[in-house]
Amino acid sequence: MTSAQTDRFVHDRLPPRAQWPELRFDTPELRALPAQVNLVQHLFDRAEANGHAGRPFLRSDTRTLSYAQARAAVNRIANLLVNERGLVPGNRVLLRGGNSVAMALAWLAVVQAGLVVVATMPLLRAKELKAVIDKAQPALLLCDAALTAELEGANSGLPLLRFNTDAADGLEALAATQPAHATPCPTAGSDIALLAFTSGTTGVPKAAVHTHTDVLAACECWPRHMLRATPDDVVVGSPPLAFTFGLGGLLIFPMWAGCSVYFPSIPYTPEAMVKLIADKGATICYTAPTFYRQMAPFAQQNGIGKLRICVSAGEGLPDATRQLWKQASGIEMLDGIGATEMFHIFISAAPEAVKRGAIGTVVPGYTARVVDEQGHEVPDGTVGRLAVIGPTGCRYLDEPRQAQYVQGGWNFPGDAFQRDADGYYVYQARTDDMIITAGYNVAGPEVESSLLAHPAVAECGVVGRPDEDRGQVIVAYVVLKPGHSGDAALVKALQEHAKASMAPYKYPREVVFVERLPRTETGKLQRFALRQQPKT
């Protein structure tokens, strides 16, 4: 897309070409992706061509929109943004809202109009929103009417439109005056569709840039080969649409498969999620391992209706949680590891191909290897850095950390893995979360998995603390289940439990009982925040 009326802000702030990842299109489906394509137009056209125009797509407690109805609503919003608000291709539009039909329609309209979505997590505060605004320089703010206070507190001075409201000056009322037909922006596949801000597990978030082709390429990898959704599936889940895990799972991938998504009007709790699954006939669920663990007793008690696929991602899945959920629901979890920088999942295993203790194998379309610090591939069974290459890759917006993520064309997500002889990848930790104690390398998630198998433990996070004698000592922060007391006897019991299931040097020298663990809005454990805790 080239035009005098095109905003080149993002393109002009991409990394130098020498720091770009190599993109590979190694499957027939990937090679068939068109060079000239509008992501949203392509997905709606695909649904119509497959006979899904009249099938339900976006659902809530108050309304259901078919694919055709959703397309008309998207067209009206896109017409409003372009014809009435005067936005031009490449302008950024900041979106702020929880998961809802209105949020989904706004997201699709922005991209169809050739604009760049900058979706933000609903729990971000004014200071955090201002940092996003300063970096992305949006031309317009679209905000759920219930969430405007923090955005207004960011003092941006930018025009603001509210959605999810019946107000006369709200997005819905203004869009209703627009035609239901629109000509999608004739974007190239290489044009920018979204800026995805990372979730902040390692501190300061970064903005990952993704094109129309990136998102469509992701559809042809994990969803096609591992998820295998059908038009009859009903999808629910907790990850926000502002997070690429949620965007893919709860909007893009259902569109690609022609199935429907249900967005409830109340916040998720573990009990409410299980009830929703049964009440709405949900067949696919996306959430984080911690939430599955909390859902397990309710699933055991009340059943899980028609649920058939449970996707876990966002953080490492402890085997104890996998087995607990399988016992409660009868379902083998579909695990995966992905990255905001890669858009979605690149290592996974279909339920029938699960190997205990491993995440899975490389998703078709991607290539992965485990390497040492010099970038040389290490033998199977050796812990090293994960390197990935495929049809998607990391391009940060105006970010000096680009050179750390992409090296020699390969993406380094920052994870430590080992691969076994069958090609299964076993997660160890974030590379900066490996604990070196008395000369031994210990992965925090392995210790967490052991402790989670103890009947008193609800959640835990394990980090290393500097120590003069051992270099680092292993510290476990533990949230207990109701009815258990965090006393010296339980500390001893947890330590002995860990020693019984792992090499003795891996047990936590310190156990700290806490009421809650620091997590991102997407449910990821923030180990960097635990490392900042004062010594007990």
Q: What is the CATH number of the domain that holds 505?
A: 3.30.300.30
What DSSP line would sit under 321-362, residue for residue? HHHHHHHHHS---EEEEE-GGGSSEEEE--GGG--TT--BEE
Tokens (6 digits) for 204: 């300061």
Residue 2: what pLDDT?
47
Residue with the larger pLDDT of the pair 316 and 183 = 183
Judge if 413 and 455 occupy the same domain: no
Residue that is last in its domain, among 419, 447, 468: 419
Residue that is last in its domain, among 419, 448, 481: 419
Type of residue at 3? S
Judge if 251 and 294 occupy the same domain: yes
Residue 201: what pLDDT?
43
Residue 536: what pLDDT?
63
- In tens, the pLDDT along 181-218 reads 999 999 999 999 999 998 554 446 689 999 999 999 99
314 forms bridges with which residues in the sheet?
none
Judge if 393 and 347 occupy the same domain: yes
Give the whole-angstrom CA distance, residue 384 versus residue 381: 9
> Which among 143, 120, 115, 145 is positioned nearest to 130, based on CA atoms?
120
Number of domains in the chain: 2
Residue 469: what pLDDT?
67
Residue 467: what pLDDT?
76
Judge if 221 and 328 occupy the same domain: yes
Residue 414 has pLDDT above 70, yes or no: yes
Q: What is the CATH number of the domain that holds 295?
A: 3.40.50.12780
Residue 30 has pLDDT above 60, yes or no: yes
In a domain, 526, yes or no: yes
Judge if 246 and 137 occupy the same domain: yes
Judge if 376 and 334 occupy the same domain: yes
pLDDT bin (cut points 50, 70, 90) of residue 497 is very high
Percent of the chain whose pLDDT exceeds 70: 94
- In tens, the pLDDT along 296-312 reads 999 999 999 999 999 99
In a domain, 426, yes or no: no
Residue 3 has pLDDT above 60, yes or no: no
In a domain, 4, yes or no: no
- In tens, the pLDDT along 450-493 reads 899 999 999 999 998 877 667 788 999 999 999 999 999 999 99
Judge if 395 and 497 occupy the same domain: no
Single pTM value for the model: 0.84
Judge if 447 and 514 occupy the same domain: yes
The 3-state secondary structure of 168-191 reads CCCHHHHHCCCCCCCCCCCCECCC
Give the whole-angstrom CA distance, residue 464 versus residue 354: 30
Average pLDDT rounded to a whole number, residues 348-369: 93
Residue 165: what pLDDT?
95
Judge if 244 and 157 occupy the same domain: yes
Residue 280: what pLDDT?
95
Sign of CA dihedral 43, 47, 53, 58: negative
- Strands 425-430, 415-419: pairing kind: antiparallel
- In tens, the pLDDT along 102-159 reads 999 999 999 999 999 999 988 788 888 888 999 999 999 999 999 999 898 887 789 9
What does DSSP assign to residue 374?
T
Q: Which domain holds residue 260?
A: 11-419
- In tens, the pLDDT along 80-109 reads 999 999 999 999 999 999 999 999 999 999
Judge if 406 and 467 occupy the same domain: no
Q: Terminal CA-to-CA distance of the chain, rounded, Å?
A: 58
Residue that is last in its domain, among 419, 448, 470: 419
Residue 502 has pLDDT above 50, yes or no: yes
Give the whole-angstrom CA distance, residue 433 versus residue 416: 9
Judge if 131 and 102 occupy the same domain: yes
- In tens, the pLDDT along 328-352 reads 999 999 999 999 999 999 999 988 9
In a domain, 536, yes or no: no
In a domain, 429, yes or no: no
* DSSP run (H or E) holding 7: none
> Which among 243, 147, 235, 150 is positioned nearest to 194, based on CA atoms?
243
Judge if 208 and 325 occupy the same domain: yes
In a domain, 432, yes or no: no
